[in-house]
Structures are given as structure tokens and as C-alpha cells.
Structure 1
Amino acid sequence: MLHEPLSPAFGALLEGIPLAGLDAAGFRQLYALWQRQHLLVLRGHGLDRPGFEAFAARFGQVDPLPDLGAAESSWGVELAWAERPAFACLLHACKAPESGGATWFACLPAALRLIAPDLVARLRWLAIQHGPHAHPMVIMQPETGEHSLFLGTRRDARIMEVPQAESERLLNIAWSYGTADAVSLCHRWQPGDIVLWNNLTVMHRHDAVPAGSVRKLQRARIQGRYTLAAPIETEAA
């Protein structure tokens, strides 16, 4: 499937793919590319709002969500606190801002590859508490087997079974890699754009929209289907 890389680390742009008429073989190709690239920008696809909802449903059970407006948000993944965090997320630009209002993405498998092996060896044994559930800091992407950081959200996160000061130190280090320029990309919206990303391997955040500009993004979130596991659990099995 023809595509244009969005960054050296991850992401691909596809233009003019008629998503409404995409057959099963075409969807398998799209899905495989998405799994390799972690994020796809789909432009010139020809979908209206109901068509977007139908396309999202091909990835799994969709949570109904209100449109996203002008507000700013911090780095994170959707439903990090859940036993099974959301599997995938999609945004559809119903109205794109004339200026500002970009959305940022960061690739966590690429971030893990930047970290020194001795630190990775330690992180592989640690878990982060997010609300009622904890998840490994290093996970194995369930469908591809790729290893990835999983940071969730920074606020109120704590690494289990280490002193508070050490938890903060390690989280600060991990987040510095997870949001580094080398593993991040900025998406500036064009009308009609659809962005699809793997919520288990990609974090995101939104810039605020300046006064006088409008951003209206239709949202779709695919319900979680996997309990996250660390690579060490597979190796020990």
C-alpha cells in the first residue's frame, strides 16, 4: 500500500484511499501497515461522519465520545487506568483550525530503543500504578510482539515497590525518552484528515486552539481487548 513516511521513527500518510469501499484484502493491508507504523494519517478518503463511524468499527467495539474542541491536553494514552486500556484511537477533522491546535504523537517502541540496555533491563521488571490497575513499564505489543514502553499518564503515576523518590527519578527519565523529539511528530490538521493510532504504543497530546480559530475533531476509541504483559512473562513461560 503506497504511503509517505511521516518521520524516521513512525507514522505514514496515505492519500486518496477510498475507505468506504475498502474490501477485506485492502483492509488487511491497511491494518498491517498501521501495526508496523503505529500511526496513519488518512487524507482524501471521502468519508462523512457515518462513514467514519463505520470505518472505526472495523477495528473493534467503539466507545461513543463527544467531539474534541479547542482545549489543550497533556501527554498520555486513553484509559491508562483500565485493566485493558483502549486498543486504538481515531480522530476525524470535521473542522480544522486555521492556525495552532496541532496534535502531537510520540512512539513508545522507538523511545525504548533509545534507552541504554542496562536501564531497559531494570525497567522490564517494574510496573506503574495508574488508579486501580498497574501495568508493566515495558510491554510486548500483543499482536506484533514488539517491545514498547508503556507510560500511561504522568499525573499520579507511581512505580510500584520502589521508594517514592526513586519512582519519581525513574519516571522522569522514562518520560524524557518517551517524549523526546526523535520519537515525536506534530500533526497540523487539514479538513477531513483521519488519524488512526495504536493506543498501546503511541501517546498523544493536543495544543490549545488560539482565539478566532476552530477545531472540531470527531473521536472514536476502540475498546481494550488485551491485558498488558511484560516480555519477561513470555520469556519465563
Structure 2
Amino acid sequence: MDIETSTVREITSATDVVPTGGALGAEVRNIDLKSLDDTSFAALLEAFHRHSVLLIREQHLTDQDLIAFSRRFGDLDFAPIQENGRRFVEGLPEIYIVSNVKVNGEAIGSLGAGEAVWHTDMSYLDTPPIASALYALEIPPVGGNTSFCSMYAVYDALPSELKRRVADLKIKHDGTYNSGGFVRQGVTPTDDPRTSPGAIHPLVCTHPASGRQMLYLGRRRNAYLVGLELADSEALLDELWSYVARPEFAWEHVWKVGDLVIWDNRSTMHRRDPFDDHARRIMHRTQIKGTERPR
């Protein structure tokens, strides 16, 4: 989707926020994240809450730069420990690598080259991350695009009767599988959503910064609406997820090297297209630690 230049919003005299024209997202232009002063960051944060996803191109960041920028949003989560017992970047536990590249037969990152289905990061935790920042170091010639979906827009589009039905429901967010479909380390797989591990959150939440209501679905596999018969839960979840698939609620980003995208993990979901596993894709990610349970 092309950036619409007719709706430019100014951060400073030289830096502009340009909405994507979709249901969410904006590109922030003429900005260097390594030299962002407090006034400009405050405006950037306001734009983040307004648009839910920010794209910042042509950055030249070390891992330390990425960590320093991300920490302005809050404390950071550590990347998970991998099957080899290590985190990805020695001495920098905040850096998570999303990559299909292998060195000497060992993966340098997670999630491979396959599709990553619609999801919210780590919603299976009691206190999920506030946001995620993803920085592109190497990208394939085609594929690997990331799409974002506005859960504000999805909720707003629900018919009144459906909003009434879901208003007081709670949903279990499964902790068995990651967004690439792989079983998480130390978890015994099960496909019964009533007994699988995970956190229980309200299905309809209020964003603590914007005050807007949003649908908080997390991910489809092994999700369960607490207290319903399994068949009833599956049917209602299928109905809700049918709204997520609608293109009018989404924006797709085609990556370039040097792109940084930061998204609100509470008001959005995201997915990734598959790509040729013979191509290289290396992305470094940070996550801003959650401070409260969804409510």
C-alpha cells in the first residue's frame, strides 16, 4: 500500500509522520534514531499511540543502538533461551534474531522461512510485551513481507449483537506453539485448548494509553473462550477471526535493509509471508516489557 502524502503530520520542522492510508501505520521520515532528543521522542511516542505501527527507514543501528532506542519506551524483555542453552547475541540478552540463516548447520535465529500466521507476540504470558521493534539487516529479494492488523478497527467493525455476545468473555491464549508453528521449549504439545498452557485475558480490552476498546485475540491455534462448550468456542472464534482476514483492517510492509518497524503489541496483530529458504533474511528484534495485564 502506497504512503499517502496528503496527510502529513509534523513532528519537528524537518521530521514528518506520513500515515499509510490504511487502517493503521505511519512512516516517520527524516529522523535518526541515534540522535533523537526528548522533545522529538515525545512526539514519536504520541504518533506511536495514534497509528499503532511506525516505519522508520534508512537507519544504521548497532545492536546497542537498537537497545538504547527501544529502552526509551520502557524496560526490555530478554530473548528466550534457545534449545542450545544460549541466547542469540552473547552479552546482549535483549536481542532476539529472526532469521532462516544457518552457520555450520546451526540456526542463528528463529522462525525459519515459513509463514508466520496472524498473532500477537507472547500473549500467552500474564503480562505480555507492550511493543516490539524489528530491524532489517538482510532481506530476501521477494517474500517475507510483514502485515499488521488494527484490532481497534476489527472491534469497531463488529455488529452490535456480536459486541454484546463477546463483551464479558475471557479467552485463553495458548502457550504451546509459536507463530511459526513450532512447539515452545519445555512444553508438552496438546491440541486440546481447554488443557493447553496459556494465560487467560479479557476478549475485549481497553488500551491503557488511548482508552479505545480492542479485540484481543492473540492467535487462533488452541485458543479457547473460557466457560463455553468447545464447539461453541470454536464457532465464535471462527466468526471473530473472519474479520481479521479482511484487507481493509490491515497494512502490508515490504522490507528494505535499514528499516525499523515498531508496533503496539496490544492494539495490533501481525503476520509474515513465507520466502525462499535459500535466500537470507536476518532481522534483530527487541521487545518492550509489559507493565500490566490486559483489561
The equivalent residue for 1:159 is 225
Q: CA deviation at 1:205?
A: 1.5
User: Does 2:191 match 1:148?
Assistant: no
User: Does 2:46 match 1:13?
Assistant: no
Contact map agreement 1:16 1:44 (CA 8 A) in 2: no
* Segment of structure 1 superposing worse, 206-215 or 187-196: 206-215
Higher relative contact order, structure no. (Cα contacts within 8 Å, ≥ 6 residues apart): 1
Identify which of 17, 23, 26 aligns with 2:40. 26
In the TM superposition, 1:62-81 aligns within 5 A as 62-65=76-79, 66-70=96-100, 71=112, 72=114, 73-81=116-124
* Segment of structure 1 superposing worse, 166-175 or 177-186: 177-186
The equivalent residue for 1:53 is 67
Q: CA deviation at 1:218?
A: 0.3
Distance in structure 1 (CA, Å) of the matches to 2:49 and 2:66: 20
Contact map agreement 2:22 2:251 (CA 8 A) in 1: no
Partner amino acid, structure 2, of 1:74? V
Contact map agreement 2:17 2:47 (CA 8 A) in 1: no
Q: Deviations over 1:182-213 (max 9, x none)?
A: 11121111001000000011111222221442
5+ residue gaps, structure 2, are: 1-10, 80-95, 101-111, 174-196
Contact map agreement 1:128 1:157 (CA 8 A) in 2: yes
In the TM superposition, 1:37-186 aligns within 5 A as 37-65=51-79, 66-70=96-100, 71=112, 72=114, 73-130=116-173, 131-186=197-252
Partner amino acid, structure 2, of 1:219? R
Q: CA deviation at 1:48?
A: 2.9
Distance in structure 1 (CA, Å) of the matches to 2:59 and 2:138: 16
Q: Normalization by structure 2: what TM-score?
A: 0.74
Task: Describe the SS at the equivalent of 2:117.
Answer: coil
Distance in structure 2 (CA, Å) of the matches to 1:64 and 1:162: 35
Q: Deviations over 1:76-112 (max 9, x none)?
A: 1111111111110010001122111111211100111
Contact map agreement 1:142 1:226 (CA 8 A) in 2: no
Q: Which has the higher helix share?
A: 1
- The count of aligned residue pairs is 229
5+ residue gaps, structure 1, are: 230-237
Task: Describe the SS at the equivalent of 1:110.
Answer: helix
Distance in structure 1 (CA, Å) of the matches to 2:277 and 2:229: 44
Q: CA deviation at 1:13?
A: 0.7
Distance in structure 2 (CA, Å) of the matches to 1:133 and 1:102: 29
Runs of 4+ in 1 over 4 A off after TM superposition: none
How many percent of aligned residue pairs carry the same amino acid?
31
Partner amino acid, structure 1, of 2:75? Q
Q: CA deviation at 1:63?
A: 2.1
Q: Deviations over 1:28-47 (max 9, x none)?
A: 10001000100000112343
* Segment of structure 1 superposing worse, 212-221 or 65-74: 65-74
Q: Normalization by structure 1: what TM-score?
A: 0.92
* Segment of structure 1 superposing worse, 122-131 or 61-70: 61-70
- Kindly name which structure, 1 or 2, has the bigger radius of gyration based on alpha carbons: 2
The equivalent residue for 1:234 is none
Contact map agreement 1:141 1:148 (CA 8 A) in 2: yes
Q: CA deviation at 1:178?
A: 2.2
Distance in structure 2 (CA, Å) of the matches to 1:213 and 1:128: 38
Distance in structure 2 (CA, Å) of the matches to 1:7 and 1:102: 18
The equivalent residue for 1:210 is 276
